[in-house]
Structure 1
Amino acid sequence: MGQRAVVIVIVLALAVGSSFFFYSKQAGAPQPATGSQQNSAASFGLDKQAENPEPLKIDFNAIPDIIAEIDGVPIGKAGYVLALKGFQRSARKFGAKVDKEAFQKVKKDIIASIISRETFLHEASKENIKADEAVVAEKLAQVKAGFPDQKIFQNALKEQGLTEDFLKKEIVKAVIIQSLVEKNILSAINITDEALRNYYDLNQLEFEKEEMIQAAHILARADAKSSPEEKKKARERIGEIKRKLNEGADFGKLASTESDDKAAAANKGDLGTFSKGQMVEEFSKAAFSLEPGEISDIVETQFGYHLIKVTKKVPAKVVPFEEAKDSIKAKLTQKITGEKIREYIKRLKKEFNVKVMV
């Protein structure tokens, strides 16, 4: 993700409530895990569903009308209340028990985010930085494109107690901050080829790519919930498919019509390219023992019975410097940008004599 996009995403999330931007379409089928995955409730400081979760209670009347002061300008509580209500809705939606300590941290983070944003906007106003309407329109279109259709987009806004006009105003603020950061921070960042080479030489393990393969499979599902009789039938069915393949049947066609993995079946059984650690051990061991064009014997995993066909092998290699150069630059730019932004906001807060009142 480019630095301009990073700035916009961060500001939007802070401005109108993170849960609105975490919306995503549900997949038609389970996807293979490629690492530990966090549930979105956990990322909000919420525990998993409790048997009798207590509703999150927030005394909004106890929040002072003015939550901060920046350069003598009072900051009202509206944005803070909006963010807290968004968090409250998320807690209710997940039916989750809220950890008090985690909630205190959430409140502290919200306040810090609001103050940072308002401090940036105050400085931008002093520098007479305006939002480019074309950029605002583009960013609004990008947000809308993250939803399957307009109706779902409007429902998501309504669920968060927002309007499209409010969202557009928040995007205007985000674009102003983006322009401020580009002018005063990004424009001054210059990473030399020597720095890129030094990073590459000192972090060689990062550029070692393990062996990968591209493979397709046919699945006769028989998982832990299946009865012995169901497992027997699945084993017999995959055996019959294997017999057809031995007689010359087309693997892709059979995968499309016979496999219980419907997501892969839609693409003739293709699973794409993967490394050993991305698949369960039994599947991976069998797949990596094959040469391109070969079809495995029946392989049993926790999901059922598989037939695997390897279509391509990608040998292990060390990514050369010229190929890795752009990704190194993006990584270092992001790191330096984060450091510079923290230094910049610290300086501005001191300059504007920021006072927090909650």
Structure 2
Amino acid sequence: MKKTVLAMTMAASVLTMAACSDQKAADEEIIATTKVGTITKEDLYEEMKDAVGLPVMENLLLQQVLETEYKVSDKEWKDEVKSQKEALGDNFEMYLQQQGVSEKFFEKNVKSQMIQKKMIESLKVSEEDVAKGVERAKTELHARHIVVKDEDTAKEVLAKVKEGGDFADLAKEYSTEPVAEQTGGDLGWFGPGKMVQEFEDAAYSLKKGEISEPVKTSFGYHIIELLDTRKAETEKTEEEINTEIEDGLKRVQFEEKLQELIKAADVDIKVDEFKKALDSYLPATADKEDKEKK
């Protein structure tokens, strides 16, 4: 449930190879020779796949997914590249060396930054939601939950809770959230902007010791128990709190939108080592686990 704001640099892939009509010949193409042997494109691919393959695959997929909705024209891209290079001035070459990247890599990364920025700028939150968040910010909640994939299962679990079943044990048995095995569904203390909106609204409507009806979110169906509340202590100004609440609401929207785009893209990763490249961006579900087992 909790997830920090996505820190996606979405760098251009260092694994991308040019297409070739004879793939085997391309893979066996020698790119370096030494007195003790040669190195082919396939050698390089395998080495890089093992070393940096997973994060690069993640970045490539995210780049493609976001580009389906957030477009950056060649002119916009070239203008921004020029602007950033001019800002670095005589320090540009030194910057590349410090970052350990090529100029081409730098330019592709600028486009990735622009795509992400367009997505962030598209997110809007209402003044009403911010005001509600500011009011909620005065109180922190301690809650636990059980999340399942369908409403029928949620009702079954809720019935067992109401019959006196141990909440933590039921979370370990039923919850599709992997960490529930260790936490028993305990989410610790949290404030507004830390959970998806439907979950937050339900949790803040509960009284201490109360258990919710099934709450539907993009993660599934939740049974929430409010364990305790406390006054939030802060030295922040009202303006800082407003900004924090707005950022938190946008973060939740960002994650939900990204999940939506990933699901719509119907990603099918063919290489076993990369199967979990997007796991951290998607809720764990039984359907997903079943698919991975096949």
**Coarse TM-score class (shorter-chain normalised):** 0.3 to 0.5
- Superposition TM-score, scaled by structure 1 size: 0.34
TM-score using structure 2 length? 0.41
The structure with the largest alpha-carbon Rg is: 1
